[in-house]
Amino acid sequence: MTRQILVIGSGGREHAICWKLAQSAHVDKIYCAPGNGGTAQTAKTENVAIPVMDFKALIAFAKKHKIDMTVVGPDNPLAEGIVDAFEAESLRIFGPTRQAAQLESSKVFAKQFMAQHKLPTARFGVFDTKKTALAFCKANDWARVIKVDGLALGKGVYVCDTLPECETALVEIFQAKRFGTAGAQVIIEERLYGPEISLMILSDGKTLLPFASSQDYKRRLDGNKGPNTGGMGAFSPVPCYPDYQWAIHEKILEPLQKALQEADFTYKGVLYAGLLIHDHQPYLLEFNARFGDPETQCLLPRLETDLFELFEACIDGMLDRQQLTWIHETCACVVLVANTYPETGSSGKYITIGKLPEDVTVFHAGTSQNEQGDLLTNGGRILNVVAKGMSSDHAVHQAYEAISHIAFEGMAYRKDIARDASLCLSY
Ligand code: AMP
Ligand code: GLY
């Protein structure tokens, strides 16, 4: 029996998910809502012009087209309960419920969950006024990271060096109300130092199945300078991951599995653990309730296992019967952005993609396709150039070689992705 799938989202992550699902013999047809210029060209895939937050229209579409499984990419629909809405209509969907997705949508919920289950994380306090928050920073010279509770498009974390920087952040949050209600509460936590590792974990509520390790680059400019972005590049695997793998298993994955079994929600979907290695020990910085972007673009080309079967196993609580297999090569992803990103994006500029080296896949993020089939820019992050190689150096060399065959007006990208991957630094 072949299946019809609905993938929700329009970024590079969703293009990679459609691309991988299309390789499954179980999958007959994929609809991507709303999709992008890349999903429009992916095998078995067709775009549907429904916005990700229009649950009513998505449900109506799923019923009309007899969709067998819906897969949710971005955080917002999960936080707003898209899984609950689909399940209430007896529609199969891959992703956590609204309650479970609070592990991402509320940093207070996530930190309290970590503390309650003794998962290693930075020590912290929770505050709802500037006065009490600032007093905590003054009283504790380790308390230099300020995080707003709610979703903030990746901008709600202030990593400060000094007390005056903390004060400026607290003024923005509590007085200027930069984040609205998402900033009604803050976490203030210890600043940790060390390399970060992204670990995506499949969960059916009982069994956890971690993906391969990856690392992303958040800052806009080379040398990790400039403003934070949605992600400028990534690579997988992380060369030093084996050094910490046992500690991560023992200190994070085992207690996390127990914590999820004991929780009063069932976590089905992907749980993204943002880890930081501080003093040679792994700490949980954050959870995301979804696949990471752009890490997913480096992971799925390395995954040999059938992605549809994995999603099915999560939904059905049968993940204990699955295992993941990976190709040995490294994947590196370089994100091509508009030179005005992250302030603004680009739209309507023609994109040309010439002949690319073998082992290179281009996942689209902010692109659209016009009626003539031309590819046009449509966002801040435009394309993800993903290359495989025998080492991270080789992979990224291939990615940059491919980029020399790609052009659009105002194209910009970081030149140092994966350059120091083997050093296991912090980005
Ligand atoms: P989060 O959304 O919590 O992952 O934070 C975003 C980024 O802020 C992380 O990827 C880290 O680079 C940084 N960060 C968060 N928490 C801390 C911390 N306790 N110490 C140092 N850096 C942090
Ligand atoms: N790459 C980090 C994220 O997806 O949130």
Of 3.90.600.10, 3.40.50.300, 3.30.413.10, 3.40.640.10, the CATH number of 330-421 is 3.90.600.10
Q: What is the pLDDT of residues 170-182, one digit of tens each?
A: 999 999 999 999 9
- Strands of the sheet containing 346-350, edge to edge, are 346-350, 375-379, 367-369
CA-nearest residue, atom 5 of ligand 1: 157
Q: Which amino acid is at 248?
A: I
- The 10s digit of each residue's pLDDT in 147-165 is 999 998 878 999 999 999 9
Alpha carbon distance 292, 199 (integer Å): 9
Q: Mind listing the pLDDT tens digit for each residue in 301-320? A: 999 999 999 999 999 999 99
C-alpha 300 – ligand 2 centre gap (Å): 15
> What are the CA-CA distances from residue 411 to residues 294, 338, 353, 426 (Å)?
18, 5, 13, 26
- CATH number for the domain formed by residue range(s) 193-321: 3.30.470.20
In angstroms, the CA 399 to CA 263 distance is 42
Contact 144, 118 (CB under 8 A): no
From the list 289, 283, 50, the residue with the least C-alpha distance to 151 is 289
- What's the pLDDT tens digit per position in 58-102? 999 999 999 999 999 999 999 999 999 999 999 999 999 999 999
Task: Determine whether the shortest distance from the Cβ of 293 to ligand 1 is under 6 A.
Answer: no
Domain extents in the chain: 3-95, 123-190, 193-321, 330-421
Average per-residue pLDDT in the chain?
Answer: 96
What is the third-level CATH fold of 123-190?
Dna Ligase; domain 1 (3.30.1490)
Task: Give, for ligand 2, the residue of 272, 286, 298 to mutate: max count of ligand atoms closer than 8 Å to Cβ.
Answer: 272
pTM score:
0.96
Backbone region of residue 187 per phi and psi (left: phi > 0; alpha: psi in -120 to 50; beta: other values): beta
Are 211 and 290 in contact by the 8 Å Cβ rule? The answer is no
User: How many angstroms separate the alpha carbon of residue 64 from the centre of ligand 2?
Assistant: 33
For ligand 2, what atom is nearest to the CA of residue 216?
1
**368, β-bridge pairs:** 376
Q: Is residue 427 pLDDT above 80, yes or no? A: no
Residue 136 Cα to ligand 1 middle (Å): 19
Q: Is the pLDDT assigned to residue 255 strictly greater than 90?
A: yes
- From the CB of 237, is ligand 2 less than 6 Å away? no
* Distance (Å) from CA 285 to ligand 1 centroid: 6
CATH of 3-95, one of 3.40.190.10, 3.40.50.20, 3.20.20.70, 3.30.2320.50: 3.40.50.20
Pairing of strands 124-127, 186-190: antiparallel
Sign of the alpha-carbon dihedral angle for 67, 69, 72, 73: negative
Look at residue 426 in the predicted model and tell me its pLDDT. Answer: 62
Nearest in space to 396 (alpha carbons), one of 371, 414, 382: 414
| Bridge partners for 221 per DSSP | 225
Tell the residue nearest (CA) to atom 4 of ligand 2: 292
